[in-house]
A and B are shown apart, each in its own frame.
Chain A
Amino acid sequence: MERVLEDFVTAARTAGVRISISETLDAARAVETVGYGDRALLRDVLAVSLAKTAAEKQLLEDCFDRFFSFGFFAGAAEREPDRGGEDPSRIKVESSLVRMLMEEDRAGLIAAMTEAARLENLSQIRYLTQRNLFAFRLLSRMGVDDLDRQLHSMRAIDTPAAAAAASGLEAAKRYLVENVRNYVQNTYELFAGDEGLRRLEGELRLIKLSNIEQRYFVRIHEIILRMVKRLNDLSSRRRKRARRGVLDFKRTLRENISCQGLLFTPSWKKKKIDRPQFVVICDISRSVLRTVRFLLLFLYGLNQEIARIRTFVFCTNLIEVSDIFDRCPVDEALSRIQGGADIPLIMGRTDYERSFGDFRRNYLDAVTRKTTVLILGDARNNYNDPCPDHLKAIYDRAKRLIWLNPEVPAFWGAGDSEIRQYSPYCSVIRECNTLNHIERLISALIRS
């Protein structure tokens, strides 16, 4: 009986319920106390000991219904009575399987099937391609070879009665195979349903964003939302702890000197975590656009209380777009900027000198001692003069300046890439072209 519970816990974990070992042990003890007799009671007991949030309870109950469903071999009555009026009991019963099929012994068939599944370790199924193999193994265990032998011997006899009996037996065999296949499919969905999806997600985090196809955009969207939610949860909890502090003894003593050392007013150590301020300057020429989109999706997903962001985009010249991003979602904002006629952005060849110059002239007051400046671009200036003085001015004012380059480091400095000229004025230059990079970067930025 523990096997059943173990399998159920595995199935529940696949469905997304987080179950630890101690909870499994609790569930085992609880089920021992209560017994397996009553289905509704068992459901309640498992829900109470395994699922610890309302959402998990729902998932667990669905999983329970699927796992303990015994709706197989139900259509026994609808088999084609293809016997030409022959009495079915005339078919010689040569094996227990044939007997069960002929007598439509549903319970017996289900018991035989689940026993075969247990012996063949059907709960280990992981891949879609294993279904046929497992179905074959299950059928062998159940004794389908004997059935085949009987069928063969029946066909060898050349009488109409034998022919009718043989077709009846064939119909029974088809029925058996179909139900076993359904059972294997159901088990596959319970135990390995999300395996493919999970692997896809792992891959998506590592693929270069510039290479991702359009059809994966929605998935990436979801992954980003999940990462952002995690970051939000982590950061908000930390902030709460910082509001209250421990007793600052030295300051207390100092403040209470006037009371002759009596600790009249205690004072507390206050750790103030400031909301980090970001200024993001993005190159939106086509080569970098994908990465820009996902990075902005990430940043704007962060809770308002965690970071303040001002966004600028440039191609040939530079403009501020924070208000557009505040008002619309990231995708819409980006398409508005690219296509918008009312936005004074010139989409010609990338000109870093003019863009940085624009920033220095018009927006340098956005950068203060506490600001982190993020520049996202590949530093390819089309062989124009890079003029790093503008960047120097920004770097001197900011707390730090981080350059994110979507190209692989091997290409930095090759061709018209001016990253080498800009590097003295950057605190750090990072490669940023997969989701993992973005996530690591943002969590490091928020933490510091």
Chain B
Amino acid sequence: MKEKYQEHLASIPVLEEGFRSVAYIADRRIATTVYLAHHLEKPILVEGPAGVGKTELAKATADYLDLPLIRLQCYEGLDEAKALYEWKYGKQLLYTQLLKDKLDDIISRKNGFSSAMEKLHQYDDIFFSWPFLEPRPLLKALQEKDGAVLLIDEVDKSDDEFEAFLLEILSEFQVSVPEIGTIRAVTKPLVFLTSNNTRELSEALKRRCLHLFISFPEAALEREIVRRRVPGISERLTRQIVKFIQDVRELELKKVPSISETIDWARVLTILHAEVLEPVLVRDTLNTFIKFEDDIAVVAEKLHQLTATAVRQ
């Protein structure tokens, strides 16, 4: 990491303030982990329920440190070609066709097969050089001279082979392209891996990373998040919304609403110019933060009770 972010990452309180300035409200544990990740040069594995701010953390870090965010979305079947680099086959073929005459010239001047081959060998590296290399996210991250933030999203959706391949990159931060050589990272990127826990990640990958678990925040933190993300919302409405959602999280639902849903609902209510929570209003906007029919039924039963408790805030 260059010196220009040394002062951004000088200490944990500075980091917390920095996150706040880019509208990401982080608690102490998150700031500590990012601080450690930078100083120990280790990747961070972020786990937690959906919508809790894992991807946002990487974006906020990139914003705050003014680094490019390089994103790799994982899925089953993702392999080296799509993640690391690929040759621009089309370009290579095109150039060969266009330069066909030139090639004929080179070869035909010499008589004899072996001398023609020798002549060709002098040129064969041209078609496997930098202009024909298509870097994909991982290689792009390594090539950034001033460093970058690399976000590998939903690592648990990829398969075992990809994880093994990732392991090598994350430990050495270098890649060898047979035709060109070894490409080392000038500045090691800050790596974030996110996971939704749909499957167990391999031990080797987990051991290599610092593990951060982001769960649902407490009421005070959530209120602050809503305040920052939804400018212009009244304090009273914020308190009521947060209380309501925190109570809904206690119910037995298929999918519990998370922070992004809270923010969406707050935005919707602001657009509707609501000042206070009312049962009718809540019922109408229920589907902003509850995504399953069964869950809507469960919440609708307790609607009045929950609204009453929330309004008392």
- A residues near B (Cβ < 8 Å) are 20, 22-23, 26, 29-30, 33-34, 40-41, 44-45, 47-49, 51-54, 57, 233, 241
Contact = CB atoms under 8 A, between A and B. Distances in A.
A57 B212 CA distance: 10
30 contacts: A20-B207, A22-B207, A22-B208, A23-B207, A26-B42, A26-B210, A33-B39, A34-B35, A41-B12, A41-B32, A44-B29, A44-B32, A44-B33, A45-B32, A45-B36, A47-B29, A48-B29, A48-B211, A48-B212, A49-B36, A49-B210, A49-B211, A52-B45, A52-B206, A52-B209, A52-B211, A53-B206, A53-B211, A54-B47, A54-B213
Nearest to B32: A44
B211 A30 contact: no
A29 B40 contact: yes
Given A40-B28, A44-B28, A48-B210, A30 B36 contact: yes
B160 interface: yes
B191 to A, nearest CB: 15
B87 to A, nearest CB: 19
A406 to B, nearest CB: 36
Contact of A33 (B33, B36, B45, B47): B36
A241 B211 contact: no
B238 to A, nearest CB: 27
Interface of B: 12, 28-29, 32-33, 35-36, 39-40, 42, 45, 47, 160, 200, 206-213
| Dominant secondary structure at the B interface | helix
Contact of B213 (A20, A33, A45, A57): A57
Nearest to B47: A54
A29 B38 CA distance: 12
Contacts of B35: 34
Given A33-B40, A34-B35, A41-B32, 5 more contacts: A22-B207, A34-B36, A48-B211, A57-B211, A241-B160
Contacts of B29: 44, 47-48
Nearest to B205: A52
A186 to B, nearest CB: 27
A23 B40 CA distance: 12
Contacts of A22: 207-208
Q: Is the interface of A mostly helix, strand, loop or mixed?
A: helix
Contacts of A233: 200
Contacts of A45: 32, 36
A22 B200 CA distance: 20
Contacts of B40: 26, 29-30, 33
Given A33-B39, A33-B40, A51 B32 contact: no
A48 B160 contact: no
A250 to B, nearest CB: 23
Enumerate the 4 nearest inter-chain pairs by beta-carbon distance, A residue then B residue, closest first: A52-B206, A52-B211, A44-B32, A44-B29
A384 B40 CA distance: 76
Nearest to A20: B207
Nearest to A40: B28
Contacts of A29: 40
A266 to B, nearest CB: 14
A321 to B, nearest CB: 35
B207 A48 contact: no
Contacts of A40: 28
Contacts of B210: 26, 48-49
Most buried by B among A22, A26, A52: A52
Contact of A51 (B42, B160, B200, B211): B211
A231 to B, nearest CB: 15
Contacts of B212: 48
Nearest to A23: B207
A438 to B, nearest CB: 25
B208 to A, nearest CB: 8
Nearest to A51: B211
Nearest to B45: A52
B284 to A, nearest CB: 36
B129 to A, nearest CB: 28
A57 B160 CA distance: 25
A348 to B, nearest CB: 51
B206 A48 contact: no
Question: Which of B33, B160, B208, B210 has most chain A Cβ within 10 Å?
Answer: B210
Contacts of A44: 28-29, 32-33
Contacts of A34: 32, 35-36
A339 to B, nearest CB: 37
A41 B47 CA distance: 20
A378 to B, nearest CB: 41
Nearest to B36: A30
Contacts of B160: 241
Contacts of B209: 52
Given A40-B28, A57-B213, A52 B207 contact: yes
Q: Which of B45, B200, B207 counts the most chain A CB atoms within 10 A? A: B207
> Which of A22, A49, A241 has the most B CB atoms < 10 Å from its CB?
A49
Contacts of B208: 22
Contacts of A52: 45, 206-207, 209, 211
A241 B163 CA distance: 14
Contacts of B39: 33
A52 B33 CA distance: 13
Nearest to A57: B213
B223 to A, nearest CB: 22
A53 B205 CA distance: 13
A58 to B, nearest CB: 10
A48 B33 contact: yes
Q: Which of A44, A45, A54, A57 has the most C-beta atoms of chain B within 10 angstroms of its own C-beta?
A: A44
Of A30, A40, A57, chain B has the most CB atoms within 10 Å of the CB of A30
B203 to A, nearest CB: 8
B98 to A, nearest CB: 25
Nearest to A43: B29
